[in-house]
Structure 1
Amino acid sequence: MKKILFQAVTAIMFIFIFFSIVHAKIEWNILNSIDLDEKPIDVTISKDGATIYILCEKSIKVHSKSENKITEIIPLTDTFSQIVVSPDGEKLFLTDAENNRISIIQIVKIFNIQTGRSPVIGKADAPVTIVVFSDYQ
């Protein structure tokens, strides 16, 4: 009996010592605010953290963290309740819970390459194709 009582007391002490509830204070401060002209509904962030997609009632605001401003506005014709960016960053998934529908928007980044005073061969408005080999070693 004494052995069982000793084991029970030891187990209770072990639980209180090693699994005691720890309360920590949280310090916080607001780093930045983004002013919007519409009511925000949901937010998602790109995998690299450089772009914030803000779902509003009538549009998606694309916020660049490096420029610290809204750089693009994607208009919406329907009402959505949630937004998620795909892991590859090329699609936005919009949820319409009221109509049991998910819409997918493809994101394509277009970069303007300034040629400046570079030497040009051929017509200035000739189409140009740039190929990237991502598996090049």
Structure 2
Amino acid sequence: MITQKKILYGILLTLVFLGMGTISMASVDWEIQKEFSIKTKPKDIATSTNGKWLYILSDNGKILIYSITGLLKDEIIIGNDIESIEAGPRENILFLYNNEKAAVQILAFDFVQKINISGSPFIGNPEAPVVIVVFTDYQ
């Protein structure tokens, strides 16, 4: 005789076996794409919003700016009291965190490019600073 208990067990087993059909074990395919040595031990790391720059907070109070290919672009000395960094909304903004002082600093910087102008005609002071600005949101 089939009892209610046997029917419930049958339904339960059916649900379990049906559920097992939807479970799948996923695997992850991965590889290390690039490895490079840095000068000091890193405390924290952040990437620029455009993915071109890698910012490394070192244990000696510097932010090391690397290209994503591993070339050191520059260093910014910020002191040893900064404990972590975070990328800002643009590639030239970093948030610096000091938990001990409960402070946040916003660091803005610009990448300065040297342009070889030797032999080029000029008017005025040849050592005058020049800023080239690109407006990419023109409509």
**TM-score for both structures, normalised by structure 1:** 0.76
1:6-47 CA distance string (max 9 Å, x none): 432221112222125x263655447312231x3210111112
- When Rg is computed on C-alpha atoms for both structures, the one with the higher figure is 2
Equivalences, count? 133
Q: Distance in 1 between matches of 2:132 and 2:34?
A: 39
- Corresponding residue number in structure 1 for 2:123: 122
Q: Deviations over 1:38-81 (max 9, x none)?
A: 32101111122221110012111111234x32221111224222
Percent sequence identity is 25
In structure 2, the CA distance between the partners of 1:115 and 1:124, relative to structure 1 (3 Å rule), is: same
Provide structure 2 residue ranges, at least 5 long, that are not aligned to the other structure: none
Give TM-score, length-normalised by structure 2.
0.75
CA distance in 1, matches of 2:129, 2:32: 50
Check the 8 A contact 1:41/1:54 in 2, yes or no. Answer: yes
Give 1:35's aligned residue: 38
1:16 is the counterpart of 2:20: yes
Cα shift at 1:97: 1.7
Can you give the 5+ residue segments of structure 1 that lack an aligned partner in the other structure? none
Q: Which runs of 4+ in 1 moved over 6 A?
A: none
Q: Aligned-pair RMSD on alpha carbons? A: 2.7
Change (3 A) 1:101 1:11: same
Q: Residue 51 of structure 1 corresponds to which residue in structure 2? A: 53
